[in-house]
Amino acid sequence: MPRSTPGRRPATLASLAAELGVSRTTVSNAYNRPDQLSPELRKRVLDTARVLGYPGPDPVARSLRTRKAGAVGLLLTENLSYAFRDPGAIEFLEGLALACEDAGQGLHLVPASPEREDVASVHRAGVDGFVVYSVPEDDPHLAAVLERPLPTVIADQPRAASVDHVGIDDHAAMQRLARHVIELGHKHVGVLCMRLGRDRNDGFVSLPRQHSARYHVQRARLAGLRDAFEAAGVDWNTVPVVERFDHSLADGARAAGQLLDRDPQVTAILCTSDLLALGALDEAGRRGLRVPQDLTVTGFDGIAEALRTELTTVRQPVLDKGRTAGELLLSTKDPGRPRSVTLDTELITGKTSAGPRGYEEPWFGP
Amino acid sequence: MPRSTPGRRPATLASLAAELGVSRTTVSNAYNRPDQLSPELRKRVLDTARVLGYPGPDPVARSLRTRKAGAVGLLLTENLSYAFRDPGAIEFLEGLALACEDAGQGLHLVPASPEREDVASVHRAGVDGFVVYSVPEDDPHLAAVLERPLPTVIADQPRAASVDHVGIDDHAAMQRLARHVIELGHKHVGVLCMRLGRDRNDGFVSLPRQHSARYHVQRARLAGLRDAFEAAGVDWNTVPVVERFDHSLADGARAAGQLLDRDPQVTAILCTSDLLALGALDEAGRRGLRVPQDLTVTGFDGIAEALRTELTTVRQPVLDKGRTAGELLLSTKDPGRPRSVTLDTELITGKTSAGPRGYEEPWFGP
DNA sequence: AACGGCTTCTGAACCGTTACGGTCTGCTGC
DNA sequence: GCAGCAGACCGTAACGGTTCAGAAGCCGTT
């Protein structure tokens, strides 16, 4: 099979038409609208195409003419490769891929290294629209996306008034989780959270930094905690919050260590993600702290590993989020006011939360 | 910020040039070759662009002219969404994404549902090349990819003489694992394998089906087992092989159940993937079989979960495979003979393999 | 005064296709 | 014998850029 006719320039629709003595339109129709020409001629066109090594209409030229690329762009906050290491991102991708598949659309992952702020990749992407997943408010790639005259859907963060959005009520969900911990009797707690800005700050978080966080999701979750604990009479200023730039088990463990070193008397560690919480569990184990007897640990997200571990956490429908983002994007019919979808969450009380020592419910043993 | 100038047609490079009274070349240069025009003019161009809502050169038109799409196409054997549920596929994707990122290339996932054999998605993808990951020899999407005059790299399967390839020596690796099991003393074994064709066959596999398998990887792994066991005097005809179309833990468990129901006296189950093996472990547990005392179970791949479980398996560098595929593709300089990279594997003897009862090495206990 | 060299900008060709609005041919029906 | 009408095919004009070989203007040299 000739992958390309040697010696000659590659065949085009025009050259094929010339060879056949028909118009370009006819060749085009042979591929795109079989009913517009006689079966015999169509066969002749297709046969000759094979002989000449013409691979069918060029996708890029077609895209230019039809103004359709047949693909959805996806912008992620992190290195592309990182996305494949984060359980949440993977599930989101799965949902989005589902939606794209149903619509026969490709999924174009845009390389957006946070290091070299190379926005060109966004400008160069031949796509019909963008899904933006969880990026900081001041991400230059996001700005580049919004500059392009294409439909866009933002998942999770940031929340922009003029752009379609899908997410959850982070504040309410976290508040509810906090109330659960409060009801168990905890007064002295610590918090582990994900990055609050594009700058690395692996350590304790000041109040101003909490408020000025560039990641609305983290900001809302912290605010949910704050509101719940303040309502319960706990001074939020006294609650230690440890931030981690990278999102991994190991970082969760290290952050928990940092917290426990400085504040050994905390009876509960609330984490803004399951991965951090699972890391905290590891660290607790290393320190001989029993969970939940000695220490309560909670997460957020409801990733598979967390559910298996029976972590107390908030489950959010990440796959649905991805699919909804895709459906929203693909159903965009020109202007219309921006839409916003808020998905439901569910508090999961697992086996990593209990009352602090001295607060157990009475036990009527033998 | 005007996302689009209302009322008027969207601005183009030409309309911008007309507005400014300069040539299109100059506007193009303002974006692509800043050194080709005076800073003042360039600023004027960019400012006017902002005012007119011109979002910069259209990526598709640029691609048409430059013959570069800035993206790598990826064809997977399965539903796109499925890829995000298979640990191996995810790690491959991660490696590939790494390579793409380094080169500033996008990663275009091609929707290729196995159901509707819609090859159009392949024809429509505006990409500079394709990576094909583990598809059957007779996949129509693969055929469509090969018809396009683009560089292509196949990872794992199939092996095509004229196309770049990256993979491992499945036969040798599996043979080595089999020898390990043979050395432990096992004579009566069973096998769990992944799908051997595009048709579903959840059950025992006939010899002809083994030979005619459309997935070269599975074929090679089975052949590796066969060769090792025949060399050890085991008649391969008597070794039960159970196939599963879907690749999941649950399917591994069901397959193991099927095997143990028919052949309760097997002392070892060799699986052609870790996921199947982990499922088999589950099933063994359900049946009260202790591993490895009552039953030896082995896997293949070396996914994280398997290493954590200390499964006896073969580790293959899946991330490297993805990265190598990307690098191979992106370094393709026109013809040259097809390249082939074979990556190393490593036998990992975990805690799920031991001698069958009666074959333990002598134990000098108290 | 002619010349060469530099910077800055331009004109026109070209990338490969599809949309749109025809024309042409031959057949039906009266 | 001719209007009317499908069906089959075609010509032209985009689609929105990039690129290359100059042209124009300016400056310093010989």
- Among A307, A303, A283, CA closest to A295: A283
Q: What is the DSSP letter of A355?
A: P
Q: Which nucleotide lies closest to A66 by the C1' atom and the CA atom?
A: C18
Characterize B138-176 residue by residue with b for buried, 16 or more Cβ atoms within 10 angstroms of its Cβ, and e for exposed: ebbbbebbbbbbbbbbbbbbbebeebbbbbbbbbebbbb
Average pLDDT over all residues of chain B? 89
Burial of A208 (0-12, 13-18, 19+ CB in 10 A): exposed
- pLDDT above 50: residue B27: yes
**What is the spatial distance, in angstroms and rounded to an integer, between the CA atom of B310 and the C1' atom of C29?**
85
Residue in A80, A93, A98 nearest the CB of B101: A80
For strand D, the positions having any atom within 7 A of a protein Cβ are 7-21
Give mean pLDDT, residues B262-286.
95
Residue in B80, B98, B126 nearest the CB of A101: B80
Q: Residue at minimal CA–C1' distance from C14?
A: B65
Q: Residue A80 and residue B69: Cβ atoms within 8 Å?
A: no
pLDDT at residue A332, rounded to an integer: 82
When scoring B80, B93, B148 by the number of chain A Cβ atoms within 10 A, the one with the most, hence best to mutate, is: B80
Q: How confident is the model at residue A359 (pLDDT cuts 50, 70, 90)?
A: low
pLDDT at residue A73, rounded to an integer: 95
Q: Residue B115: its chain A contacts at CB < 8 A?
A: none
Residue in A94, A101, A118 nearest the CB of B85: A94
- Name the minimum distance, in Å, from the CA of A276 to any CA of chain B: 18
- pLDDT above 70: residue A280: yes
Q: Which tokens go with A300?
A: 């957020």
Which residue is closest to B4 within chain A, CA to CA? A149
Which long-range contacts does B282-289 make (Cβ < 8 Å, 24+ apart)? Answer: B282/B249, B282/B252, B282/B253, B283/B252, B283/B253, B283/B254, B283/B256, B283/B257, B284/B256, B286/B253, B287/B260, B289/B260
Burial of A212 (0-12, 13-18, 19+ CB in 10 A): exposed
Residues 19-38, chain A, CB closer than 7 Å to nucleic strand D: 21-26, 35-38
- pLDDT above 60: residue B326: yes
- Name the minimum distance, in Å, from the CA of B332 to any CA of chain A: 16
- pLDDT above 70: residue A101: yes
Q: Residue B70 and residue A121: Cβ atoms within 8 Å?
A: yes
Q: Residue B97 and residue A81: Cβ atoms within 8 Å?
A: yes
Percent with pLDDT over 70 in chain A: 94
Q: Residue B55: its chain A contacts at CB < 8 A?
A: 147-149
pLDDT at residue B354, rounded to an integer: 87
Q: Residue B149: its chain A contacts at CB < 8 A?
A: 3-4, 10, 53, 55
Q: In which element (H, E) is residue A49 found?
A: helix A39-52
pLDDT at residue B17, rounded to an integer: 87
- Name the minimum distance, in Å, from the CA of A149 to any CA of chain B: 6
Asked if B317 and B348 count as a contact pair (C-beta separation under 8 A), the reply is no
Q: Residue B278: its chain A contacts at CB < 8 A?
A: none
HEC string for chain B: CCCCCCCCCCCCHHHHHHHHCCCHHHHHHHHHCHHHCCHHHHHHHHHHHHHHCCCCCCHHHHHHHHCCCCEEEEEECCCHHHHCCCHHHHHHHHHHHHHHHHCCCEEEECCCCCCCCCCHHHHHCCCCCEEEECCCCCCHHHHHHHHCCCCEEEECCCCCCCCEEEEECHHHHHHHHHHHHHHCCCCCEEEEEECCCCCCCCEECCHHHHHCCCCHHHHHHHHHHHHHHHHCCCCHHHCCEEEECCCCHHHHHHHHHHHHHHCCCCCEEEECCHHHHHHHHHHHHHCCCCCCCCCEEECCECCHHHHHHCCEEEECCHHHHHHHHHHHHHCCCCCCCCCEEEECCEEECCCCCCCCCCCCCCCCCC
For strand C, the positions having any atom within 7 A of a protein Cβ are 7-21
**What is the spatial distance, in angstroms and rounded to an integer, between the CA atom of B25 and the C1' atom of D20?**
11
**What is the spatial distance, in angstroms and rounded to an integer, between the CA atom of A48 and the C1' atom of D9?**
18
Separation between Cα atoms, residue B80 and residue A63, nearest integer Å = 22
Which residue is closest to B31 within chain A, CA to CA? A120
Asked if A216 and A155 count as a contact pair (C-beta separation under 8 A), the reply is no
Q: Residue B55 and residue A10: Cβ atoms within 8 Å?
A: no
Separation between Cα atoms, residue B305 and residue B248, nearest integer Å = 13
Which residues are CB-neighbours of B103 under 8 A, at least 6 positions away? B326, B330
* Interval A186-218: pLDDT, tens: 999 999 999 998 899 999 999 999 999 999 999
Least confident of A124-133, B38-47, B212-221: B38-47
More confident residue, B116 or B198: B198
More confident residue, A113 or B172: B172
A19 touches strand C (CB under 7 A): no
Q: Residue A275: its chain B contacts at CB < 8 A?
A: none
Q: What structural domains does chain A harbor?
A: 13-66 (1.10.260.40), 71-168+319-343 (3.40.50.2300), 170-317 (3.40.50.2300)
* Interval A22-77: pLDDT, tens: 888 888 888 888 888 878 888 888 888 888 888 888 899 999 998 999 999 999 97
**What is the spatial distance, in angstroms and rounded to an integer, between the CA atom of B360 and the C1' atom of D9?**
82
Q: What is the CA radius of gyration of chain B?
A: 27
A36 touches strand C (CB under 7 A): no
| SS3 label, residue A270 | strand
Q: How confident is the model at residue B6 (pLDDT cuts 50, 70, 90)?
A: very low
Q: How confident is the model at residue B358 (pLDDT cuts 50, 70, 90)?
A: low
Q: Which nucleotide lies closest to A30 by the C1' atom and the CA atom?
A: D9
* Interval A148-157: pLDDT, tens: 999 999 999 8
When scoring A62, A66, A76, A80 by the number of chain B Cβ atoms within 10 A, the one with the most, hence best to mutate, is: A80
Q: Residue B84 and residue A71: Cβ atoms within 8 Å?
A: no
* Interval B63-81: pLDDT, tens: 999 899 999 999 997 777 7
Asked if B157 and B216 count as a contact pair (C-beta separation under 8 A), the reply is yes
Residue in B4, B90, B101 nearest the CB of A111: B101
B29 touches strand C (CB under 7 A): yes
- pLDDT above 50: residue A7: no
More confident residue, A366 or B320: B320
B34 touches strand D (CB under 7 A): no
Q: Residue B147 and residue A98: Cβ atoms within 8 Å?
A: no
Least confident of A82-91, A175-184, B243-252: A82-91
pLDDT at residue B59, rounded to an integer: 92
pLDDT at residue B359, rounded to an integer: 52
Separation between Cα atoms, residue A166 and residue A318, nearest integer Å = 10
A8 touches strand C (CB under 7 A): no
pLDDT at residue B182, rounded to an integer: 94
How many A/B residue pairs have CB atoms within 8 Å?
Answer: 157
pLDDT at residue B337, rounded to an integer: 79
Give mean pLDDT, residues B327-349.
89
Separation between Cα atoms, residue B337 and residue B343, nearest integer Å = 19
